[in-house]
Structure 1
Amino acid sequence: MTGWFRLTLGLLAVVVGLVWTLQGLGYLRGSLMSGDDVWAIIGPIFVVIGLALLVVGLRARNRAKRQPR
């Protein structure tokens, strides 16, 4: 996986995780997931995974920039 792909997946995981967390906590209504405690637990897990992917992606991009072509 290239750095930009990890960054994209990481950003997507953070956004999805935040939405799931807010739905699980009952702040976002209109879904079957609203107010369900399971999503209030799964959401932050996705946020952490997304942040880890963002860090790995940034490191890969920085490493690629330093290498001569």
Structure 2
Amino acid sequence: MTRAVPTVLGVLLLLIGAVWTLQGANVLPGSFMTGSRFWLVVGLVCLVAGAVLLYRVVRQRASR
């Protein structure tokens, strides 16, 4: 159970980060975030945080 929470959080961060990055980069239109550099940066930060979190979860599972 304790490993499920970081895994779900990591996947959510990746998905949300991807959407925000695409909207900030003006690739995914239809929002107030479209074309905004702020949301591009926030999305990239979420992507990196989600990837690091998932990497740590996978690494912990491999070491056990």
1:54 and 2:54 correspond:
yes
1:21 and 2:21 correspond:
yes
Question: Is there any run of 5+ residues in structure 2 with no aligned partner, and where?
Answer: none
* Cα distance in 1 between the residues matched to 2:47 and 2:33: 17
* Cα distance in 2 between the residues matched to 1:2 and 1:48: 22
| Deviation for aligned residue 1:2 | 1.5
Whichever of the two has the greater Rg, that structure is: 1
1:11-66 alpha-carbon deviations (Å, 9 max, x no partner): 11011001000000111111000011101111111000001110122233345xx4
Question: Is there any run of 5+ residues in structure 1 with no aligned partner, and where?
Answer: none
**Which residue type is aligned with residue 50 of structure 1?**
G
**Which residue type is aligned with residue 60 of structure 2?**
A
**Percent same amino acid among aligned pairs?**
41
Structure 1 length normalisation: TM-score? Answer: 0.81
Structure 2 length normalisation: TM-score? Answer: 0.87
